[in-house]
Amino acid sequence: MTSAIAAIALGSNLGDSPRILAAAIAHLDATPGISVQQTSRWYQTAPIGPPQPDYLNGCALVQVQLTPHQLLARLLEIENLFGRIRWERWGPRTLDLDLLFYDKTIVATPTLEVPHPRMRERAFVLVPLAEIAPDWVDPVSGEAIGQLLQRIDIRGVQTLYN
Ligand SMILES: Nc1ncnc2c1ncn2[C@@H]1O[C@H](COP(=O)(O)OP(=O)(O)OP(=O)(O)O)[C@@H](O)[C@H]1O
Ligand SMILES: Nc1nc2c(c(=O)[nH]1)N=C(CO)CN2
């Protein structure tokens, strides 16, 4: 299979979040068919959804020799390694891994949608993603990440680590 570039969003607001995000990156990179190319800084972000602790969020670019569904399956496996339990939609979690984009591919199936359908309005996704892929053009809206970022309110997203 030829390779593709994918972007992944990472989030954690339960447990030792800095350690959990670093370990998630290591697990991704150790996966056959996944090579981590770049990671953003980590950001402390105000929670969207029900009241819950602040999140630590960031993004990574990975080169993959996996299909989008294979990559999603690996993301779910890594989430489960950190004991993620789904209590409620948009509720707190030890580790959340979302597939944001996969080259310019559009996927619309019941179990996987790429680009991630809610990434365009999420400052906690677009701020770190703009650090590592500002010129990537969203195949759905036709807009670059840097342009999408200008439309949204980024208060509540603070750089934590350099
Ligand atoms: N691009 C994607 N990345 C990750 N999961 C996806 C994607 N598209 C669809 N899904 C599905 O969503 C499920 C995960 O839902 P989850 O409980 O993580 O939602 P959430 O993180 O609470 O909300 P959100 O999807 O808005 O971030 C996965 O099991 C997967 O089948
Ligand atoms: N700031 C922030 N808020 C969230 C996040 C997240 O990663 N960061 N993830 C959620 C689950 O989808 C719900 N709310």
Catalytic pick among 74, 96, 120, 138: 96
Which residue of 103, 116, 118 sits with most ligand 1 atoms within 8 Å of its CB, as the best mutation to test the pocket? 116
Contact 124, 105 (CB under 8 A): no
Ligand 1: which of 12, 112, 119, 126 to mutate, judged by most atoms within 8 Å of the beta carbon? 112
Domains of the chain: 4-159 (3.30.70.560)
Q: In this predicted model, what pLDDT tens digit does every residue of 33-42 receive, in sequence order?
A: 999 999 999 9
Q: What is the pLDDT of residue 2?
A: 82
Place of tokens 């309005």: 121
For 146-149, which contacts have Cβ atoms below 8 Å and span 24 or more sequence positions? 148/120, 149/123
What are the φ and ψ backbone dihedral angles of 38, each rounded to 5 degrees? Answer: -155, 145
pLDDT at 86: 60
Minimal-distance CA residue to ligand 2 atom 14 = 48
Q: What is the DSSP letter of 47?
A: P
Over residues 124-133, the pLDDT tens digits come to: 999 999 999 9
Q: Which two tokens stand for residue 152?
A: 């949204």
CB-based burial label for 91 (10 Å; 0-12, 13-18, 19+): middle
- Catalytic, 74? Answer no
- Would you call 96 a catalytic residue per the annotation? yes
Instruction: Quote the pLDDT of residue 161.
Output: 57
Q: What is the pLDDT of residue 160?
A: 75
Helices (H) and strands (E) in the chain — how many of each? Answer: 4, 8
Signed CA dihedral, 158, 147, 52, 100: sign only: negative
Residue 98 catalytic? yes
Q: Taking a C-beta distance cutoff of 8 angstroms, is the pair 138, 148 a contact?
A: yes
CA–CA separation, 78 and 113 (whole Å): 19
Instruction: Report the pLDDT value the prediction gives residue 85, as an integer from 0 to 100.
Output: 61
Percent of the chain past pLDDT 90, that is, above it, reads 86
Pocket of ligand 1 (CB under 6 A): 72, 76, 86, 89-90, 96, 98-99, 111-114, 116, 118
The token duo for 68 is 């989008």
- Which residue numbers in the chain have pLDDT < 70? 1, 84-88, 161-162
C-alpha span between 85 and 87 (Å, rounded): 6
